[in-house]
Structure formats: C-alpha cells, structure tokens
C-alpha cells in the first residue's frame, strides 16, 4: 500500500514536469514564430514590394536607385584590376541638390576610405562632421555581399547617414556586387541603426589592415579609393582623411567663414596638424582640449613612434605654442614649403592633383601626392586651430607581416614616380 502511494505521487510529479515542459515548448514555439514575424516585417521593410499599399515610397526609391547602381556592373579602373561602383547609394543631400541651391552647405566635403572591418568608425565620424561625406569601401570575396547589404541597411536605419553620406564600392574586377534581397542572413536581428553598427563591430577584427583575404595577397588600393571618394562629391573643397580619424569640431562652418574673409590662392592648400590619441581617451573637439591632452602625453604627433620625420615639418611646437596667444577665428597660422618626407592632411580645392593609383598597400601612397603638390607649385598653409586626430597610438608590431616588403616595393615605385614628375612639370624648378 505504501509503495502504491509512492508510485502514484511519482506519477503526479512526473506528469506535472511533462506538462511544464510541454508548456515551455509551446511558449518557445510562440516566441520563435513571433521573432520570425518580426524579422519578416523588418525584412519586408527593407525589401517590400513597391506595389504594396503601405509601402514606404522613400525606401522604395532608395531600393530602386541601389538596384540601378548595381545593374550597371560598375566601371573598371584604369588598371583593369578593380571594379568601381561610384555612387552605389547617394545621400538625400546629393540626390536633392539642385543647381543654384545654397552653395555653403556643399562648399566643403569630407572624403574617406575603408575596408569592411573599419566601417564601424563611420558612426563617430558622421557624428563629428555633420556635413556631406563621401565614403569609398573596398570589399573582397564574400565581403562584397556583406558590404552591399550593410551599406543598404545603414541608409535605411540611420537617418543622419541617409541624409549626408554617399557610398561607393570597389572590388576586384572579377567580382560583382549584387542586390542583397536574397541575403537574409545579413539582416537577421537588424532593427535600428545601433544594431547595424553592432553587426559591423563583429567584423572589426576579421583581419589586420592591409592583410585582406587572410593570407594578405589581396592589395588594398588606398589611392584609388581616395580618388573615388574625392570624385564622389561635387564640393569645391575636400578634406581627405582615413576613416579612423576625426577632424576638430565645427570645421565646416569655420572654414567657410575663413574663405568668406579671404579668398584662397589657386595654389594654396590648408594643412591640418595630425595627432594620435590613446584609445581610452575621448576625442578632443577643440584645440584647447587637444593641447591639454598633448601636454600630459595622452595625445602626440601622428606617427611619432613609427616615422617622426613624416609629420615633423608641421612644426608642432610652433602650432601648440600659438595657443597661448589666443585663438580667435580659424585662420592661417603660418605657411611652409614642402620637405621630404612630409605627408600632411589638408583641405584642398577639388582641382588639386589626384593620388597616384599605382601605390597600393603600405608605404608612399600619401607622400607621393604631397610631393606632386610641391612640384606643381602649391604652398602649404597651416591652419591655426583646426586639426585631425587618429584613434589610438600607432606602435611598432601592430602591422601586418608584409609591411616592410611592401614599403620597399613602393619606395622603388616612388623613385620612378618622381622621375615622371619631371616630365609632367617640365618648367617647375621644384624637386622632391
């Protein structure tokens, strides 16, 4: 009798456990279906048919423009090794820009370039710049699909990016980008702008800079990308920087005011002293904030550890010491002549010489263009309070394994490039 009661109690407990497990399965099934519906809703929000009554005409217009950009197949670069999708997705600003419109808003644009593992930096760059921006992205292999999908998602979920950023895509000539409608895995879990950047963050450590494709045999065409980004804007003046850098705050408005006070000479570019900051620090917005960090060693000249000569001609001590004299409005602090191996970051008119696209990977890609500016007769006017800052200190040992090999190859190319400048500018007395 006692044993029978125990068996009955055991059956009751077992039955209760089975019931709880069954209810849990039903609940999980409900959640899964609900999540699936949410994902289908998000997916239809991205790719819903334009024929639906409730379809968003703005999203459909953006989708159709992307379809058209991809349908062209892009164009090949002069070397025939790369395929370029210029204006893969245009910003609302560029799309709605009309002849005769207020020119001040498109007077100065920022142009930048990146691979997919650094695209997450775009968030903070747009937040700091808050004006028209042109981004050239290089993608290889499966990253071409990923880049196309995530760029489209950025322009749907991120209003500021949708408003201001023009995207261009570069891949190898043997690869083609396609409309990401069938690539649902790239959109799973994307519900807002933060989610898109969180997805991009997962790719930030996929490979080292310049070591694309795992074995490093894929050349990153940095100068081609710079030219694509430059050519993707109609602004009169352009600032070209790397995507993991940031300019000082309010630079667009300050530079416009400067040009209104004094018309730039046709042979003048405006240098922004370049710095780098420890990763843990907040990016300085003003020269006062930057100088404070500089004085305690939290900010230092760009490339100070790797190539101090590459930025030394900027004359950092003179620039920093001018802070004590009072800043006033943005203006030219002093003018310098170019000396080897200076590679400054600068604002230049859209007519300045392009970057030489033969330079790829590491070494001599920016100095070659600065050298040409010098031979072409440009003068280098250093601005008194504007600057750019790179996120993190550049240190030995963080580069990819082929860095020195690439540097040697590009050094030989630079020698040939300098000889070519003699032919290109036969009447110039300047040499690099």
In the 8-state DSSP scheme, what is residue 335?
E
In this structure, are 297 and 206 located in the same domain?
A: no
pLDDT confidence of residue 50:
44
- Does residue 140 fall inside a structural domain? yes
How far apart are the C-alpha atoms of 11 and 21, rounded to whole Å? 15
pLDDT confidence of residue 136:
98
pLDDT confidence of residue 322:
86
Strand partners, 165: 133
In this structure, are 239 and 250 located in the same domain?
A: no
How far apart are the C-alpha atoms of 219 and 131, rounded to whole Å? 31
In this structure, are 215 and 169 located in the same domain?
A: yes
pLDDT confidence of residue 55:
53
Domain that holds residue 231: 59-95+104-243
Closest residue by Cα to residue 226 from 314, 353, 107: 353
Residue 39 three-state SS? helix
The residue among 192, 220, 243 that closes a domain is: 243
In this structure, are 121 and 239 located in the same domain?
A: yes
The residue among 214, 243, 272 that closes a domain is: 243
Q: Are strands 345-349 and 268-272 parallel, antiparallel or unpaired?
A: antiparallel
Strand partners, 383: 332
Q: What is the mean pLDDT of each run of 10 residues along the chain (432 residues)?
A: 53 57 55 43 49 57 89 95 96 76 72 95 97 96 92 94 97 92 73 93 73 69 98 96 97 96 94 94 94 96 94 96 76 96 97 96 91 98 97 81 82 96 97 91
Q: Work out how many domains the chain is built from and give that number.
A: 2
In this structure, are 113 and 207 located in the same domain?
A: yes
How far apart are the C-alpha atoms of 300 and 293, rounded to whole Å? 9
In this structure, are 145 and 250 located in the same domain?
A: no
In this structure, are 232 and 369 located in the same domain?
A: no
The residue among 221, 243, 265 that closes a domain is: 243
In this structure, are 117 and 231 located in the same domain?
A: yes
In the 8-state DSSP scheme, what is residue 385?
S
pLDDT confidence of residue 270:
98
pLDDT confidence of residue 407:
81
In this structure, are 258 and 202 located in the same domain?
A: no
- Does residue 85 fall inside a structural domain? yes
* Cα radius of gyration (the chain): 26
Question: What are the start-end ranges of the H helices in 232-325?
Answer: 251-261, 287-295, 316-321
Helix axes 143-157, 2-47, angle to 10 degrees: 80
């Amino acid at each position: 009798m006692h044993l029978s009661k125990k068996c009955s109690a055991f059956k009751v407990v077992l039955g209760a456990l089975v019931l709880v497990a069954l209810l849990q399965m039903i609940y999980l099934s409900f959640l899964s279906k609900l999540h699936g519906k949410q994902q289908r809703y998000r997916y239809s929000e991205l790719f819903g048919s334009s024929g639906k009554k409730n379809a968003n005409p703005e999203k459909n217009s953006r989708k159709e423009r992307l379809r058209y950009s991809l349908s062209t197949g892009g164009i090949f670069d002069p070397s025939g090794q790369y395929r370029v999708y210029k204006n893969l997705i245009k910003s609302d600003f560029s799309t709605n820009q009309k002849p005769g419109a207020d020119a001040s808003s498109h007077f100065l644009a920022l142009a930048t370039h990146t691979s997919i593992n650094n695209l997450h930096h775009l968030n903070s760059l747009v937040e700091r710049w808050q004006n028209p921006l042109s981004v050239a992205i290089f993608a290889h292999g499966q990253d071409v699909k990923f880049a196309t999908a995530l760029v489209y998602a950025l322009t749907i979920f991120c209003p500021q990016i949708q408003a201001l950023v023009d995207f261009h895509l570069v891949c190898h000539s043997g690869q083609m980008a396609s409309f990401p409608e069938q690539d649902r895995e790239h959109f799973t879990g994307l519900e807002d702008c933060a989610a898109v950047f969180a997805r991009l963050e997962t790719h930030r450590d996929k490979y080292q800079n310049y070591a694309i494709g795992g074995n490093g045999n894929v050349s990153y065409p940095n100068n081609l990308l710079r030219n694509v980004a430059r050519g993707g804007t109609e602004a009169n003046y352009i600032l070209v920087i790397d995507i993991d850098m940031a300019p000082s705050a309010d630079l667009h408005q300050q530079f416009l005011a400067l040009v209104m006070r004094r018309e730039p000479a046709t042979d003048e570019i405006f240098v922004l002293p370049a710095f780098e900051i420890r990763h843990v620090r907040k990016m300085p917005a003003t020269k006062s904030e930057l100088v404070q960090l500089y004085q305690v060693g939290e900010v230092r000249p760009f490339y100070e550890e790797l190539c101090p000569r590459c930025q030394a001609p900027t004359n950092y001590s003179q620039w920093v010491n001018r802070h004590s004299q009072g800043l006033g409005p943005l203006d030219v602090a002093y003018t310098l002549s170019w000396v080897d191996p200076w590679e400054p970051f600068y604002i230049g008119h859209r007519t300045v010489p392009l970057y030489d696209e033969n330079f790829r990977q590491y070494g001599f890609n920016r100095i070659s263009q600065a050298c040409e500016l010098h031979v072409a007769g440009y003068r280098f006017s250093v601005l008194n309070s504007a600057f750019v800052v790179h996120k993190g200190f550049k240190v030995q040992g963080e580069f990819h394994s082929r860095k020195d090999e690439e540097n040697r190859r590009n050094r030989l190319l630079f020698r040939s490039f300098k000889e070519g400048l003699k032919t290109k500018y036969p009447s110039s007395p300047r040499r690099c």
